[in-house]
Amino acid sequence: MEYNYIKSLHLIFIITWFAGLFYIVRLFVYQIEADEKPSPEREILLAQYKIMTYRLWFIITWPSAVLATIFALWLLYLMPGWLLMPWMQVKLVFVVLLLAYHLKCHQIYSQLQNDQFKYSSNFMRLWNEGATIILFSVVFLVILKNAFNWIYGVIGIILFSVLIMLGFKFYKRIRERK
């Protein structure tokens, strides 16, 4: 019974963590584009986006990441045999990638809070897809587990990534025409 409660909490905080990651990068896009606006619109928007990103990052995203991790470790404590399963080992590789993605978002957050604009809004739109690829990969691994054919899985992730890139290029062309 304890397992189901811990698993439920883990899943809830995974969902809120991803929601935070998806939205924070969207706010980065808006913040970068606001920096290109004329004064006083620029200052007003940047001040508002700094408040919004601060609240999202430290009230939702970071706490969700920490709690999702705590409940994940608790689940592994309850079910240590999972660590021997190939699907879990691959999942943990994606979790490490997710943590690296999160830390890079934190670095970008800090730069933008200090008015350091090192990336374009187009880069941020593309960067936002990193979390999507990780999410798809982890969900398919967890649901399909040992029934998952690794060759088809790798091909699927590559095709999914190519589709995202094509969609991004198509969207960029539409934006440039406006």
Range of the domain at 39: 2-177
Calculate mean pLDDT across residues 142-166: 75
pLDDT band (50, 70, 90) for residue 167? confident
Q: Is the pLDDT of residue 99 over 60?
A: yes
Please write the tens of the pLDDT for every residue from 24-45: 999 999 999 999 999 999 999 9
Distance CA 178, CA 168 (A): 16
Give pLDDT tens digits for 33-84.
Answer: 999 999 999 999 999 999 999 999 999 999 999 999 999 999 999 999 999 9
Residue 63: its pLDDT value, please?
98
- pLDDT-derived band at 163 (thresholds 50, 70, 90) equals confident
| 114-131 pLDDT, tens digit each | 999 999 998 999 899 899
The Cα–Cα gap between 86 and 76 comes to 14
Closest CA to 60 of 103, 17, 106, 12: 17
- Work out how many domains the chain is built from and give that number: 1
Q: How far is residue 90 from each of residues 53, 84, 140, 153, 154, measured CA to CA in Å? A: 32, 11, 11, 11, 12
Task: Give backbone dihedrals phi and psi of 81, rounded to 5 degrees, phi first.
Answer: -65, -20
pLDDT of 147 above 80 = no
Q: How far apart are CA 109 and CA 127, in angstroms?
A: 13
Q: Which region, left, alpha or beta, applies to residue 136 given φ > 0 means left and ψ of -120 to 50 means alpha?
A: alpha
Question: Angle 32-127-142 (CA atoms, 0-180°, nearest 5)?
Answer: 145
118 in a known ligand binding site = no
For residue 13, how many other CB atoms are within 10 A of its CB?
Answer: 20
Residue 148 has pLDDT above 60, yes or no: no
More confident residue, 147 or 21: 21
Output the pLDDT for position 86.
84
pLDDT of residue 155: 76
Residue 33 CA to residue 62 CA, distance in Å, equals 25
Q: Is 106 flagged in the annotation as binding?
A: no
DSSP labels, 121-174: HHHHHHHHHHHHHHHHHHHHHHHHGGG--HHHHHHHHHHHHHHHHHHHHHHHHH
For residue 88, the surrounding DSSP H or E stretch is helix 86-113
Residues 6+ apart with CB under 8 A from 108: 28, 118, 119, 124
